[in-house]
Structure 1
Amino acid sequence: MTSRLHFSVCPHDTAKNVAGWFLINTYLQRRLDLAIHFEPCDNVNDEREQVLAGGYELVYANPYSALRYCEQRQFVPIARPTGLYDETLLIARAGEALPTTRPVQIASASDRLIVHFLGLTLLEKVGLRVSDCESKFVGNHLKVLQAVVSGQCELGFLFNETWQGLSAKTQSGLQILEQTRNQQAFHCFCVGPALADRAEEVQAILCSMKDDPQGRRILEDLRFAGFEPVTMDGLHHLNTLVGMSA
């Protein structure tokens, strides 16, 4: 192997299956003949700031982070999971009516995630104005769930993948008041300038994993159908959600 690169993955993904991401890291190392260092981080804001500080050449990023990396560090998106989109569920405890007191307390993981911005678009659909509500940023999606279940907040903005990973018993204690179906926001792999000359090669390896027995086993472990190419055009429309310039 000729050089050493650094790989970072959104903590919301490593929290679900960190072993699978180590397998992807090894898979890419062998096919690129590169030493790639991967060390998971457990806080999404810390992980984002580490990448923005420099020293990373490959990332698997949530939509908001991907926009920041492309804008501030000249990363380029290359591949995204096939058929998977970031959506937001507006949840409440099961059987409870929409709160009549104001402000309504809404739990949200962070104001630096697309899940939050998508959640704001749901309020009008249930008869609430943004000015009727007060967001409580609790740090991650599981803490959103806890805040709603415990009664600390009446409502919550929950990541769709978090909901899908809940047990039937936990889901039965909650209700979905509304949800987005935009199919616009998504996680994606991005490469930095130091790896730009091999971007097409990395993209080809990722997008062909489903056709390789070893790659397919890793995808199945991570519950991905595969990866498909993506370009900057696929991210530009998200700027309107987060108020960033394209």
Structure 2
Amino acid sequence: MPFQLTVSPDFTPDHISGWYIFNTWLQKALDEGVHLELYNNFNDQRSAIQSDQVDLIYANPYDAAMLVREKGFLPVARPGGVADEAIIAVRDDSSTQVVEDLSSGIRIAATDDPDVNLMCAIMLEPAELNAENTQREEKESYPLVAKAVIQGQVDLGFFLAEAFNSLSGVTRKQLRPLVTSQIHIIHHALLVGPKLAHRQQQLSELLAGMSEDPKGSGVLQSLGFDSWVKVEEEEMEFMIDLMDTLTYQPA
């Protein structure tokens, strides 16, 4: 029975082939059967996690807490020089220039990406906007969020910065970033589950050495990464604590 690898559903579509290439590389490196299973949304992926169907996951920061603290996953590596940031964007011709120009009742298009939605919600706080005085429309992908903003179906959209920058030039020209997060220390990470915990150190070393290997370097390029960097458990705990702090809302 092969181990199962999955990827946070917020990865950009142009890197789908890259994850299949990475999966092939991983099987050869570990000399183990590994099956890549991609889920269309976070709910389906979390159901698989709760059913113990996932052994390796490239996880978003928000889900990392659940994976580490509830399911016993361990950190392996994160992309070098890459941090998760979020963008709130409006249509290019919008009269809105700063967040404080926004008022209650605005319509928002967003995916079900939890860390992006959290960061964007925090960036709306200066306008005293929250879930109770805004309207949220959930879209299946960031291109659909962009479409909703451009067509005037909503007032603004929530984007993962990487996804926004991966939109076509024609699409980006019709949008204008209103505000961008600058947290810098939140990132996706590859985590290993209990069944592969004994290979954690080996995996960290293999991934850290990919950029020095011609074949490994090509695999990294297909993922849009420059390198993998080992993640220590203390670093992962710090990020989880930060996400908990950002999520906390006082009564």
* TM-score, length-scaled by structure 1: 0.90
Q: Is 1:241 matched up with 2:246?
A: yes
Residue number in structure 2 paired with 1:102: 104
Residue number in structure 1 paired with 2:64: 66
5+ long unaligned stretches in structure 2: none
Identical-residue share of aligned pairs (%): 30
Q: Deviation of residue 128 (structure 1)?
A: 4.4
Q: Deviation of residue 152 (structure 1)?
A: 1.5
* TM-score, length-scaled by structure 2: 0.88
Residue number in structure 2 paired with 1:141: 142
- Larger mean Cα displacement after TM superposition, 17-26 or 127-136: 127-136
Structure 1 moving runs of 4+ over 6 Å: none
Q: How does 1:176-187 map to 2 (within 5 A)?
A: 176-187=177-188
Residue number in structure 2 paired with 1:13: 11
Where 1:238 maps in the other structure, the secondary structure is helix
User: Deviations for 1:125-152, whole angstroms, at most 9, x for unmatched residues?
Assistant: 4x34325423222233222212211211
Q: How does 1:144-159 map to 2 (within 5 A)?
A: 144-159=145-160
Conserved? CA contact 1:114–1:241, under 8 Å? no
5+ long unaligned stretches in structure 1: none
Conserved? CA contact 2:142–2:164, under 8 Å? no
2-structure distance, mates of 1:14, 1:101 = 31
Conserved? CA contact 1:106–1:134, under 8 Å? yes
Residue identity opposite 2:52 in structure 1: G
- Larger mean Cα displacement after TM superposition, 158-167 or 90-99: 90-99
Where 2:90 maps in the other structure, the secondary structure is strand
Q: Is 1:209 matched up with 2:215?
A: no
Conserved? CA contact 1:8–1:51, under 8 Å? no
Change (3 A) 1:14 1:133: closer
2-structure distance, mates of 1:16, 1:45 = 22
2-structure distance, mates of 1:10, 1:101 = 32
Residue identity opposite 1:119 in structure 2: C
Q: Deviation of residue 15 (structure 1)?
A: 2.5
Residue number in structure 2 paired with 1:222: 223
